């Protein structure tokens, strides 16, 4: 009987792949949000994952892909970002994500009451400023501290600063785990942190078991994406039928059909672009376990417009052990 070969690497909880998969665990999500927002766990009825790709109004608009996006209790949207390395203009980037997420669901003719409160939670593995506090909350207030609106909120959590005995401490310890020994030794009374520890252990199984686990997670992502696409297609089909029923004959009918065809082509084009971006993101998720993805690999993935080629790459990505090995697959 062939002996299984242990996987000697370590997938840290704060790595791109591990962090995103942790947030797919409902217990982890609920307990994490409860700790960060200081909401009693029993008040969290639902914290549903949403599509992380925000819509674009035009081809020239900058694309926005979030790490983790959630809908809390049906009335608050939350974006959680894990940033391991310092990047320039992080504050502007965070504000851009927040603004896009706030306005994303609103289109022409929609009332403003459709807008939901939006919260960004930035987890930074570097010192943002000299403040001793590792968790700070920012909102819209005047010079006297009076609240203007609670619709926009930013949380900054810095992993490298000293712990203070807050309920977030165990989450900080979790994200700072860097070895199997640290993983095995950590315990927590927070049910969400303990669930996260078990998830990270599962991600660091024997090599072949780990590949099967990653394939299972990939299938879950694909099923979720197909479910979202099916719902969108159903809405579009109903909308198209309504337009068809309201058309008049003659010149007006021809004009309406022309507009409908143009809209249909644009929507189909947008859906195809969404599938391409989803496939690219899956590849990035798997490659992220190896470290920072080199610029040339990212550029090659972004340039690829063939969906079948991208799917072939993301099926191979979990099996590679180095970026050079993946580069050979790109040729």
Over the stretch 6-23, which tens digit does the pLDDT of each residue have?
556 788 899 888 899 899
Calculate the CA 215 to chain-centre distance.
18
**How is residue 71 annotated by DSSP?**
E
Mean pLDDT is lowest, of 26-30, 66-70, 137-141, 303-307, for: 303-307
- Mean pLDDT score of the chain: 79
Per-residue CA distances from 44 to 98, 122, 152 (Å): 22, 21, 19
**Which pLDDT score, from 0 to 100, does residue 258 have?**
44
Which DSSP string do the residues of 109-164 spell out, in sequence order?
Answer: T--GGG--EEEEEEEESS--SS-S-SEEEEEEE-TT--EEEEEEEEEEEETTSPP-
Contact 22, 175 (CB under 8 A): no
Cα gap 177→127, rounded to integer Å: 18
Per-residue CA distances from 43 to 78, 118, 260 (Å): 16, 18, 45
Q: Report the pLDDT averaged over residues 184-201.
A: 93
pTM over 0.75: no
Decide which of 5 and 77 is more confident: 77
pLDDT above 70: percentage of residues in the chain: 73
**Which pLDDT score, from 0 to 100, does residue 254 have?**
43
pLDDT above 90: percentage of residues in the chain: 38
Supply angle C-alpha 282, 107, 226, rounded to 5. Answer: 30
* Confidence class for position 259, pLDDT limits 50, 70, 90: very low
Cα gap 36→156, rounded to integer Å: 10
Residues contacting residue 323 through CB under 8 Å, at least 6 positions apart = 287, 290, 293, 294, 297
Does pLDDT of 138 surpass 90?
Answer: yes
Does pLDDT of 177 surpass 90?
Answer: yes
- Read off φ and ψ for residue 249, nearest 5 degrees: -80, 175
Cα gap 188→171, rounded to integer Å: 9
Which DSSP string do the residues of 264-293 spell out, in sequence order?
Answer: HHHHHHHHHHHHHHHHHHHHHHHHGGGSSP
Of the candidates 76, 93, 80, the residue with the CA atom closest to the CA atom of residue 36: 80
């Amino acid at each position: 009987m062939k002996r299984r070969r242990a996987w000697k690497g370590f997938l840290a909880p704060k790595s791109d792949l591990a962090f995103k998969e942790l947030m797919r665990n409902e217990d982890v999500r609920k307990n994490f949000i409860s700790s960060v927002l200081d909401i009693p766990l029993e008040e969290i009825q639902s914290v549903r994952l949403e599509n992380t790709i925000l819509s674009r109004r035009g081809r020239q608009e900058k694309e926005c892909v979030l790490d983790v996006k959630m809908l809390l209790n049906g009335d608050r949207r939350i974006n959680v970002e894990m940033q391991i390395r310092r990047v320039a203009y992080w504050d502007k980037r965070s504000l851009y994500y927040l603004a896009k997420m706030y306005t994303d669901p609103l289109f022409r003719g929609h009332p403003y009451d459709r807008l939901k409160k939006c919260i960004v939670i930035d987890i930074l593995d570097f010192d943002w400023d000299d403040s001793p506090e590792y968790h700070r909350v920012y909102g819209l207030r005047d010079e006297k501290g009076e609240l203007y609106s609670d619709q926009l909120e930013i949380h900054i959590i810095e992993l490298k600063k000293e712990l203070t005995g807050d309920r977030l401490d165990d989450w900080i310890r979790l994200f700072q785990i860097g070895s199997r020994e640290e993983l095995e030794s950590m315990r927590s009374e927070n049910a969400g942190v303990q669930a996260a520890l078990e998830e990270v252990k599962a991600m660091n199984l024997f090599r072949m078991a780990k590949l099967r686990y990653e394939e299972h997670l990939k299938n879950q992502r694909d099923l979720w994406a197909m479910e979202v696409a099916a719902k969108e297609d159903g809405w579009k089909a109903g909308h198209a039928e309504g337009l068809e029923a309201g058309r008049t004959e003659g010149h007006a009918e021809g004009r309406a059909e022309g507009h409908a065809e143009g809209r249909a082509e644009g929507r189909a084009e947008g859906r195809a672009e969404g599938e391409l971006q989803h496939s690219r993101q899956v590849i990035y998720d798997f490659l992220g376990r190896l470290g920072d993805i080199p610029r040339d690999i990212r550029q090659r993935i972004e340039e690829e417009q063939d969906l079948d080629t991208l799917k072939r790459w993301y099926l191979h990505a979990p099996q590679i052990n180095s970026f050079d090995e993946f580069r050979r697959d790109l040729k």
